[in-house]
Amino acid sequence: MAYLFTSESVSEGHPDKVADQISDALIDNFLAFDPTSKVACETLVTTGQVVLAGEVKSKAYLDVQEIARGVIRKIGYTKSEYMFEANSCGILSAIHEQSQDINQGVDKKKKEEQGAGDQGMMFGYATNETENYMPLALALSHDILKELALVRRENKAIKYLRPDAKSQVTLEYDDNNKPVRIDAIVVSTQHDDFGKDDVMLAKIKKDIINIVIPRVKAKYTKYAHLFNNKIKYHINPTGKFVIGGPHGDTGLTGRKIIVDTYGGKGAHGGGAFSGKDPSKVDRSAAYATRHIAKNLVAAGLCDEVLVQVSYAIGVAQPTSINVVTYGTAKVKMTDGQIAEKLMKMSCFDMRPYFIEQRLKLRNPIYSETAAYGHMGRTPETVEKVFHSPDGKSIKKKVELFTWEKLDAIKEVKKVFKLK
């Protein structure tokens, strides 16, 4: 029976994402100057104010205020009329030292015995629905907002856009779980006050449909037929959206975890990613399970898979690994048997230290993850520059989104005897 499925995304200027990006910028700076740093940093943003709180164990000393202002400036909150502006907002830091009780469970004499930074379960998901092995509704939602941000920065085709925005895409699937139609697209974008309400709303709707959506469609040649004149568009459905960003809504780190992962497909363990160093398995193990899931699907083991891992705080070995292939496995094995084989594969060692080493997670790679999803991104090597309060600068060449690399396909095919 045909069914509908919906995913949403939020822009880099959404209050919760502003908070995520500040938290991850702090993580990057700590790791740049001290790769052994242990950090759990939360950010709150509201009208004219940023509050930083958390626990840190690090040799690095940072100008956290300037780091936060740099993030806000880069996002685009640079005008006083936004009521939240990079140069003038107040910034309060309540960051303090990490609890020794927590740290003793993580740091061990032998690095390979490093314990998990917390208990909990983490999930990784992949599907062959798209080229990046992500659910289509979420991929479309992200791309709508990426294009909206590009149009805003170009400031040519559309000149009234402000940083805050949300999107949502509803797809219809057939009996074979294949997307056959875009049922609805929702876009709410903050904008300047440039006229009467009905005139503004009419222009915004026209511009989104005629300028932004075609740019998104161009990325999806396989699904270009889904973009037709039968789509129901809801553009700024509540009316004008001038008051937005942290002035319109308070933002907090870690409140967009479904946007960060799979848009409601598969499952989520409940732990946020941003603001956490990789000793926190909420983050590192979620990346590692995505790496497993993506390589399993890319190797042809199955069309769709969900991988779960769980930990006890202070213990290196996972308490469980679970695999669900939704009946799409191409091998004559149960999901339990597949999981049992995975646990023995050295390329998927799920002990925290080995995850950190395999995916190079002790590098300053997290700012780029904090908007438009942590999964489904393109791996790349970049050079980043960081500045310390004493005037010193450090350059780091780092690999981004290592968990998206398809570097275990050969091993998966060998272990599961796939052609």
The mean pLDDT value for 183-202 works out to: 97
* Structural domain for 325, as ranges: 120-128+254-415
Model confidence band, residue 204 (pLDDT cutoffs 50, 70, 90):
very high
Show the 3-state SS of the chain: CCEEEEEEEECCCCHHHHHHHHHHHHHHHHHHHCCCCEEEEEEEEECCEEEEEEEEECCCCCCHHHHHHHHHHHHCCCCHHHCCCCCCCEEEEEEEECCHHHHHHHCCCCHHHCCECCCEEEEEEEECCCCCCCCHHHHHHHHHHHHHHHHHHHCCCCCCEEEEEEEEEEEEECCCCCEEEEEEEEEEEEECCCCCHHHHHHHHHHHHHHHHHHHHHCCCCCCHHHCCCCCEEEECCCCCCCCCHHHHCCEECCCCHHHHCCCCCCCCCCCCCCCECCCCHHHHHHHHHHHHHHHHHHCCCCCEEEEEEEECECCCCCCEEEEECCCCCCCCCCHHHHHHHHHCCHHHCCCHHHHHHHCCCCCCCCHHHCCCCCCCCCCEEEEEEEECCCCCEEEEEEEECHHHCCCCHHHHHHHCCCC
Q: Are residues 262 and 392 in the same domain?
A: yes
**12-54 pLDDT per residue, tens:** 999 999 999 999 999 999 999 999 999 999 999 999 999 999 9
Q: Are residues 240 and 275 in the same domain?
A: no
- Is residue 358 included in any domain, yes or no? yes
Chain Cα centroid distance, residue 225: 28
Q: Are residues 173 and 124 in the same domain?
A: no
- Is residue 44 included in any domain, yes or no? yes
Q: CB burial class (10 A; 0-12, 13-18, 19+) of residue 232?
A: exposed
Q: Are residues 273 and 216 in the same domain?
A: no
Binding residue numbers for ATP? 14, 164-166, 240-241, 249, 255-256, 272, 276
Q: Are residues 53 and 94 in the same domain?
A: yes
- Tell me: pLDDT of 200 over 80: yes
Binding residue numbers? 14, 16, 42, 55, 98, 164-166, 240-241, 249, 255-256, 272, 276, 280
- Is residue 114 included in any domain, yes or no? no
Model confidence band, residue 198 (pLDDT cutoffs 50, 70, 90):
very high
- Is residue 112 included in any domain, yes or no? no
**Residue 117: what pLDDT?**
84
Q: Are residues 55 and 170 in the same domain?
A: no
Q: Are residues 356 and 290 in the same domain?
A: yes
CA distance 250 to 45: 6
**160-190 pLDDT per residue, tens:** 999 999 999 999 999 999 999 999 999 999 9
**262-315 pLDDT per residue, tens:** 999 999 999 999 999 999 999 999 999 999 999 999 999 999 999 999 999 999
**Number of domains observed in the structure of the chain:** 3
Model confidence band, residue 110 (pLDDT cutoffs 50, 70, 90):
confident
Binding residue numbers for Mg(2+)? 16
Q: Are residues 271 and 239 in the same domain?
A: no
CA distance 176 to 118: 39
Binding residue numbers for K(+)? 42
**Residue 81: what pLDDT?**
96
**304-360 pLDDT per residue, tens:** 999 999 999 999 999 999 999 999 999 999 999 999 999 999 999 999 999 999 999
Q: Are residues 242 and 347 in the same domain?
A: no
Q: Are residues 232 and 281 in the same domain?
A: no
- Tell me: pLDDT of 221 over 90: yes
- Is residue 183 included in any domain, yes or no? yes
- Tell me: pLDDT of 380 over 90: yes
- Is residue 282 included in any domain, yes or no? yes
CATH code for the domain of 306: 3.30.300.10
Model confidence band, residue 98 (pLDDT cutoffs 50, 70, 90):
confident
Q: What is the mean pLDDT of the chain?
A: 96
Q: Are residues 238 and 295 in the same domain?
A: no
Model confidence band, residue 103 (pLDDT cutoffs 50, 70, 90):
low
Structure-model confidence comparison of residues 109 and 1, the more confident one:
1
- Is residue 111 included in any domain, yes or no? no
- Is residue 71 included in any domain, yes or no? yes
**Residue 104: what pLDDT?**
60
Q: Are residues 381 and 302 in the same domain?
A: yes
Model confidence band, residue 1 (pLDDT cutoffs 50, 70, 90):
confident
**Residue 288: what pLDDT?**
98
Binding residue numbers for L-methionine? 55, 98, 249, 280
The mean pLDDT value for 111-134 works out to: 93
User: Please, which residues have CB within 8 angstroms of residue 338's CB and are 6 or more apart in sequence?
Assistant: 301, 323, 325, 329, 331, 416
What are the structure tokens assigned to 27, written together?
């993580």
